[in-house]
Amino acid sequence: MKKYLENKWTIAIIALLAGLLLGYIFWHSSREESSTPHDLTDHAGETTWTCSMHPQIRQPEPGQCPICGMDLIPLRSGEGDVNPMAVSMTKTAIKLAGIQTMTVGSGAGETEKSLQLNGTVVPNERLVKTLTAHVAGRIEQLFVNTTGEYVTRGQRLASIYSPELIAAQRELLQTVAIKDSQPALYRAAVEKLKAFKLSEHQISNIAESGEIRQTIDIQADRSGVVLEKKVNVGDHLKTGEALYTVADLSKVWVEFDAYESDLPWIDLGDKVSFTVASLPGQDFEGKVAFIEPVVNRQSRVAKVRVEIPNPGQKLKPEMFVTGTVKTEIPAQGDRIVLPKSAVMWTGERSVVYVQNQTAEEPSFMMKEVVLGPSLGNSYVIEKGLKPGDEVVVNGTFTVDAAAQLAGKPSMMNPEGGTTMTGHDHGQSVKPEPVQVGNQAKKHIEGLIMKYYKLKDALVASNREDALVSASTFKKALDQVPMNAFEGKAHDRWMTLEGQMNGAINSIVASDNIDQARKSFILLSEAMVDAAHTFGPFSKAVYVQHCPMANDDQGANWLSEVDEIRNPYYGDMMLTCGEVTETIE
């Protein structure tokens, strides 16, 4: 009996423990099952999905990017706090585009301003003389017949017949016989011939021969190079009339053209170093001796003169020279200096892109700045930045292109949104044409030819050919010399070159044909502006427009033929568009 009770209690305890264990498992499992859907729902509701190549895309659920079709990825914590007016870019995109930043500080950077001036070699006006006739008569013979000849003092220039000289010779011969008894008369006759610039040797020859010379030689009274011949055989001259203009080139002037904006930075005595295009490898140096007090009304430049010795006469008048003047900028404690590559200038505004240093995902915000003096390769920033700001210094136009694509504030569209003109059939305001030299025009035509190759690859929907053509275009763009553009043309090219660079970098870094076509819109805008600004060219350029491209906002492109071949849709809508203009 006792053993039976012990077994019964053992069974009861085991049953109780088993029940507690099953209850725990059941209860814990039920709790997990009831809580799991709630947790997943909260997580799904808080996660934002974006595109690695188009960070402006924000969706509450996974899917594909509406721009490029790539799978969306979850946005990491903290990325949703990016300023809505800033443009975001992935670290991969930043690396591909070669974007670099620098942290600006006060009082840093260059304190020396460098001015580039162009000029020419000219004769020293103090050493330019005019050889004149000192007696009236007729030119019987010329011994110096061309400009550029070098004459020496005492050299025969011309032979002249003069009734006054014949009369003066007769007086001399009459006084020779009585010069011992009437020396005053003889000396008066000699002085009269000297007044006609006859040399003592010529006078003594006349007196000793006792014969009157029908013609008398005119001799050079100084040495130099003949710059201008003003007489011919048979010309009748009056007393004082010019025969030749002669210049001594042992010392010359170099006259530089200084724009009125450069004049405040140039002072008398400033050192100027310069090179001569026709004398490569040789450096010259001089000091500013004169600054023209009046600015030319048409060219808006004043002459800045440098006087230098010219041993061996290597420097010849009208040689082209390029000079540099350096001047110190007064120190300022709060000065901020940026490389020129960081600043985009539209003619009315100057803007930079500042990186958001607090966001996990890189983002950039456009800021308008006020430029101070130019320091050669950098600018002093007067307003708009503060020490510690991290500014884009390389790839600025690439960031701006990304901002335009994302509809964020950009250089050409500070309010944000699309920069296109909608259904205007491409009839936007055309830029003002500017005149450029043959070298600049040749480079622009070369870019247009390479642009056509890229356009044709997009028409054929061939991504590989498009990337090759884009790389070829970029290489040609990098080789365009800045010194081929001057004045207003230089300012326009600086802006257009930056826009082209930003757009072509986006095409080179694109992952698919649709993304390349999106960036091609920005490249075409810059190319159309370049065609309007620097055209016409040797061949006709057709401006074509598709009203359905760019999400029905419309987009332009250039073509070498008037036949429509749409680069934005290819075979889908190959003939969609129209010719809006022909640049003959």
Are 318 and 347 within one domain? no
Q: Give the pLDDT score at 548.
A: 82
**What's the number of domains the chain is made of?**
5
Percentage of the chain beyond pLDDT 70 is 82
In this predicted structure, the answer to whether residue 557 has a pLDDT above a threshold of 70 is yes
Given 42, 60, 81, the domain boundary residue is: 81
CATH number of the domain enclosing 546: 1.20.120
**Same domain for 573 and 469:** yes
pLDDT (tens digit per residue) in 291-336:
999 998 888 899 999 999 998 889 999 999 999 998 776 655 566 8
What sign does the dihedral 295-330-390-384 (CA atoms) show?
Answer: negative
**Residues 213 and 199: beta-carbon distance below 8 Å:** no
How open is the CA angle 451-457-463, to the nearest 5 degrees? 120
The answer as to whether 564 is a domain residue is: yes
Residues 442 and 555 in one domain: yes
Decide which of 380, 405, 430 is a domain's last residue. 405
The reply to whether 179 falls in a domain is yes
Quote the pLDDT of residue 294. 92
Picking from 328, 343, 367, the residue at the C-terminal end of a domain is 328
In whole numbers, what is the pLDDT of the chain averaged over residues? 79
Contacts of 449 (CB under 8 A, 6+ apart): none
Which residue segment(s) compose the domain that 225 sits in? 134-240
Under the banding of pLDDT at 50, 70 and 90, the label for residue 159 is confident
309 and 337 part of one domain: no
pLDDT for residue 315: 92
The answer to whether position 412 is within a domain reads no
Query: Across residues 471-500, what is the average pLDDT?
Result: 84
Indicate if the pLDDT at residue 366 is higher than 80: yes
Write out pLDDT tens, residues 33-73.
Answer: 433 333 333 334 457 777 655 555 777 888 887 766 677 77
Give whichever of 236-240, 508-512, 524-528, 550-554 has the largest mean pLDDT. Answer: 524-528
Is the confidence at residue 416, as pLDDT, over 80? no
- 117 found inside a domain: no
Q: What is the DSSP string of 476-489?
A: HHHTS-GGG--THH
Kindly give, in sequence order, each residue whose CB lies less than 8 Å from that of residue 294, ignoring residues fewer than 6 positions away: 302
Q: Answer yes or no: is 299 within a domain.
A: yes
- One domain, residues 577 and 443: yes
According to DSSP, the β-strands at 150-151 and 224-229 are: antiparallel
**Alpha-carbon span 378 to 574, nearest angstrom:** 46
> CA-to-CA distance for 385 and 406, rounded, in angstroms?
24
What average pLDDT does the segment 109-114 reach?
63
| Pair (361, 341) in one structural domain | yes
Percent of the chain with pLDDT over 90: 18
Q: Is the pLDDT of residue 353 over 70?
A: yes
Q: Among 119, 60, 83, which residue's Cα sits nearest to residue 272?
A: 119
Q: Let me know whether 216 and 259 are in one domain.
A: no
Instruction: Say yes or no to pLDDT of 108 above 50.
Output: no
Q: Report the predicted TM-score, pTM, of the whole model to 2 decimal places.
A: 0.46
Question: Are residues 468 and 358 part of one domain?
Answer: no
Q: Please tell me whether residues 534 and 548 are part of one structural domain.
A: yes
